[in-house]
Chains A and B, each alone.
Chain A
């Protein structure tokens, strides 16, 4: 670009291009306003709110049982984990002790959701970078997890399996068998993912050294989940604030240092192995016990403030409730990991090319309804 300018004495004019709201690589209705010099990005301005439903305001009129069901409409790929966050907040506030059976089943479901979410993410990374085979592979394997979910709780995506005090029903008699079948199957398929993308020269050249974000910036931007761990931030709520059965399983929290697009990719691939490790440790050891602790039909939280954090597939999902003692919260805030992760683009993408922006967006793994709420 510079060479061309020198030779011809041509001047480039800065101009603005809207990427989205209907653009396949924004993964939903998100508009990025790009300031461009040629194909170099000079500024980037995310415009969000296209699917804003004011869920926080709705929660101020709903009772606590209803709020659980609203949460899986935000991050639909981590619906179980989001349901769990609200359920756990209520359980902690009312000092309800859930049984060991519930803890173990919830943890298995969490990890299955994480694998399923990462599979869909991997499928779309491939598609964003022009590898359609990846898309088909990812969806093929994800189907098995969806079927397992469907068999136990009747839903494939927005599961609503958690209720305050435990679970809605017990697991299906086939559950353990099918989860083990899935693990055996996926252990042979995950190496194929590496062959197809991770070790692919074109893919490596498009991701390595692209969209680097330093550890200091990652912390300052409030990044969380795999996106933060790829920049060397050892933030994993499963380790630092263990909930459910995470304190009794042996797994590694994957942390990488380079902070580029490839590191964000690799962290998620390795996380799928760790998730399978967690499930294997728990699947044969589901203790007997009640699946629901007794709760009142209309739940009222004591006066005070409560905050619950869980590690979804995207990172630190938080629920902040201010209660005045009534059946609805006085104020409720959802801290969504995608929101903070998205805005790191304003630094990450500047100076790069538009084609690289697509790779960066793909490995940020944002879910737009989770940003807009």
Chain B
């Protein structure tokens, strides 16, 4: 499927999705966290889409919101896209887990929880991954300060 066909199909499934192609080599689909899981399931299971390979999962901390970024690829159809969930709530950011759809998400989500403090609803094992269990704060957030370990220059 080319980007136009992808756009058309995604719009019929999820009319609220914001589709962006500018400033990225992939088609970006931005949706609200509430719609994320339903759309992700369709993207994975639909025969014409079949985005079965997630090659990256991460998060970006913007001043007004968090953005979950999922890079997806289809092994059979060879098309790629980026699915994004815009989390407006900066105080208690939360989004549904996608680990039932892509197994690799389970551990990448633990990393995002560890470094960004995003809560993943229904995650089977949401613990810190890289840092120690008693670590205070979420280092990859923009407002994180650590006068001991962070050297500014």
Q: Does A304 contact B129, Cβ atoms closer than 8 Å?
A: no
Q: Which residues of B contact A (CB under 8 A)?
A: 22-26, 28, 52-56, 58, 60-61, 69, 71, 75, 78, 82, 102-104, 106-108, 115, 129-132, 139-140, 149-150, 152-153
* A57 and B69 within 8 A (CB): no
Interface of B is mostly: loop
Q: Which residues of B contact A307 (CB under 8 A)?
A: 24-26, 56, 71
Instruction: Pick the residue among A61, A220, A304, A322 that contacts B102 (CB under 8 A).
Output: A220
Q: Is A335 an interface residue, CB under 8 A from the partner?
A: yes
Q: Using a CB–CB distance below 8 Å, which chain A residues touch chain B?
A: 48-49, 52, 54, 56-57, 61, 217, 219-222, 224, 233-235, 240, 303-307, 309, 316, 318, 320, 322, 330-331, 333, 335, 339-340, 343, 347, 372
Docked Cα-Cα span, A222 to B152, in Å, equals 36
Main secondary structure of the interface of A (DSSP, over half): mixed
Contact across chains for B130 and A340 when beta carbons are under 8 A apart: no
Q: Which of A56, A57, A303 contacts B23 (CB 8 A)?
A: A303
Between-chain CB contacts (< 8 Å), 10 pairs:
A49-B130, A56-B115, A61-B153, A219-B52, A219-B53, A306-B25, A307-B25, A307-B56, A335-B58, A343-B106
Whether A320 touches B53, Cβ cut-off 8 Å, given contacts A339-B107, A340-B104, is no
The answer to whether B130 touches A48 (Cβ under 8 A) is yes
Of the residues A61, A331, A343, contact of B152 by C-beta under 8 Å = A61
In the complex, what distance in Å separates the CA atom of A219 from the CA atom of B78? 13
A234 (CB) vs chain B CBs: closest residue: B75
**CB-CB < 8 A to A304: which residues of B?**
22-24
Residue pair A49, B129 in contact (C-beta under 8 Å): yes
- Docked pose: A167 CA to B129 CA in angstroms: 37
Which of B28, B55, B75, B82 is A309 in contact with, Cβ under 8 Å?
Answer: B55
Contact A220 B103 (CB under 8 A): yes
Residue of B nearest to A322 (CB): B60
Q: How far is the CA of A217 from the CA of B132 in the complex (A)?
A: 30
